């Protein structure tokens, strides 16, 4: 059971860029599963925080178009949330890039290790575990890359609106930008839905690891 647990947690750990390979091989399986679940929960929390920031930023932007709003104070609120959103978007990009590079390196190494196994039965069993963990990793990576990509048009909309209102902040300029404000909201929804997919996949992996606690 110990070896099975170590193999089952190994791909998830390194694919998420959480710990190094030597520590995983040396760790007790049950204890490692608990640690990895905690790391996965941290990543899930990060995703939830980004979703929240998307919601808050869009909300403050939309309030600019509300009747009788004081434009300047509201615009300052939007800019403050946009600054926070920029920081969150950068972290998503860096996390997605890190997962991609570290996951590729790890699976290349693991494939070489599996091929070096002399016993055919053991090698086939290891190949099956490798394929299963690689599939799980690729699912998480895929949705993280999708979230990264969908943040691009969303952030572009927000920055364009900021520039527009910095040059002219009037009821007329806000009214003329209503279609772009709606577009930013739609792009924000796309980001939110993709991050929810990331969280669902992380929950699935965490539930699997719970078997080994």
Q: pTM of this prediction?
A: 0.76
Q: Give pLDDT tens digits for 103-155.
A: 667 677 777 888 888 888 888 887 887 777 777 778 878 888 899 999 999 99
- The owner of tokens 């070096």 is 116
Q: What torsion do the CA atoms of 53, 58, 64, 66 make, to the nearest 10 degrees?
A: -120
Classify burial at 209, counting beta carbons within 10 Å of its beta carbon; exposed 0-12, middle 13-18, buried 19 or more.
buried
Q: Where are the domains of the chain?
A: 2-212
When mean pLDDT is compared across 11-20, 55-64, 138-147, the lowest value belongs to: 11-20
- The band of 21, judged by pLDDT with boundaries at 50, 70 and 90, is very low
The DSSP secondary-structure symbol of 27 reads S
**110 within 8 A of 21, measured Cβ to Cβ:** no
* pLDDT at site 30: 56
Per-residue pLDDT at 177 exceeds 70: yes
């Amino acid at each position: 059971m110990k070896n099975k647990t170590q193999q089952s947690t190994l791909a998830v750990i390194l694919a998420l860029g959480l710990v190094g390979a030597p520590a995983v091989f040396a760790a007790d399986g049950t204890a490692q599963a608990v640690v990895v679940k905690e790391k996965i929960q941290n990543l899930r929390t990060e995703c939830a925080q980004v979703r929240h920031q998307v919601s808050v930023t869009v909300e403050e932007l939309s309030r600019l178009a509300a009747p009788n709003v004081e434009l300047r104070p509201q615009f300052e609120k939007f800019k403050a949330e946009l600054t926070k959103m920029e920081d969150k978007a950068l972290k998503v990009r860096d996390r997605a890039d890190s997962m991609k590079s570290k996951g590729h390196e790890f699976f290349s190494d693991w494939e070489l290790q599996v091929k070096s196994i002399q016993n055919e039965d053991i090698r086939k069993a290891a190949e099956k575990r490798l394929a299963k963990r690689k599939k799980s990793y690729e699912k998480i990576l895929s949705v993280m890359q999708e979230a990264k990509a969908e943040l691009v048009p969303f952030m572009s909309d927000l920055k364009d609106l900021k520039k527009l209102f910095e040059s002219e902040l009037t009821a007329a300029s806000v009214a003329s930008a209503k279609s772009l404000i709606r577009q930013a909201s739609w792009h924000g929804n796309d980001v939110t839905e993709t991050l929810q997919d990331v969280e669902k996949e992380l929950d699935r992996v965490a539930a699997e690891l719970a078997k080994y606690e």
